[in-house]
Amino acid sequence: MSEQQTQAWLDELCAALPAGALLGRESFRGQHSLLVDPGLLVSVMKLLKDRGGFRYLADLTALDRLPREPRFLLVYHLWNHAERRLIRVKTEARGEPPTVLSVTALWTTANWHERECYDLFGVEFRGHPDLRRILTADGWVGHPLRKDYPTMGPPEVQNWVPPRYAPPAPAATPAGDEGAAS
């Protein structure tokens, strides 16, 4: 497929996006990126999936741009199996803690991707059914892939004593308090 054809296809796709959703667009060496408004992320993604044919979420990760504000940039890689096309969608996570809408309703695989992103970057995904840590050990403190995280971790990590025997689970933990438990 020629470059012109690809650009025409991309123009058509961008035109179909909701008004005000597209904040930027970049094509570099045959790779196409869209910067979208975080408030309209889910509707953009739904359109890309249903109309653009991007049925596969290949990757979901974050970028720590310290000291820029907003600090975290979410990056989604979508793949179209039928037309063999890749598109990159970026959006900014605003607020404190940085929050972005969850896309688990569109791609089931986003569940673990978003848990990983939350674990390592501390980005919260609104609408995620089960947002808790996935990679780090129990009772972890902090988010290791943040640029201001010390290489050896905070003292809590190095002085950590693993629970010899798992304590009985508390009857009811308040939501979003899993860091203090265990």
Partner 1 sequence: MGIEQHIDNRIVTTTLEKVVNWARKSSVWPATFGLACCAIEMICTAANRFDIARFGMEAFRASPRQADLMIVAGTVTWKMLPSVIRIYEQMPEPKWVIAMGSCTESGGIFRSYAVVQGINRYLPVDVYVPGCPPRPEALLFGIMKLHEKILKDPFLTKKYAHLEFPRATAAGKEGELK
- Give the binding site for partner 1 (CB under 8 A): 135-138, 140, 144, 149-153, 157-158, 160, 162-164
CB of 178 to partner 1, least distance (A): 16
CB of 117 to partner 1, least distance (A): 17
Assigned token pair, 26 = 């970049």
For residue 93, give the 3-state DSSP assignment. strand
Q: Which residue, 129 or 150, is less far from partner 1 as judged by CB?
A: 150
CB of 114 to partner 1, least distance (A): 19
Strand partners, 62: 74
CB of 160 to partner 1, least distance (A): 7
Q: 67: which residues sit within 8 A by CB, 6+ positions away?
A: none
Q: Which residue, 29 or 164, is less far from partner 1 as judged by CB?
A: 164
CB atoms closer than 10 angstroms to residue 116: 18
Q: Which residue, 2 or 158, is less far from partner 1 as judged by CB?
A: 158
Q: Which residue, 14 or 137, is less far from partner 1 as judged by CB?
A: 137
Looking at residue 182, its amino acid is S
Residue among 161, 174, 126, 119 nearest 142 (CA): 119
Q: 40: which residues sit within 8 A by CB, 6+ positions away?
A: 18, 20, 21
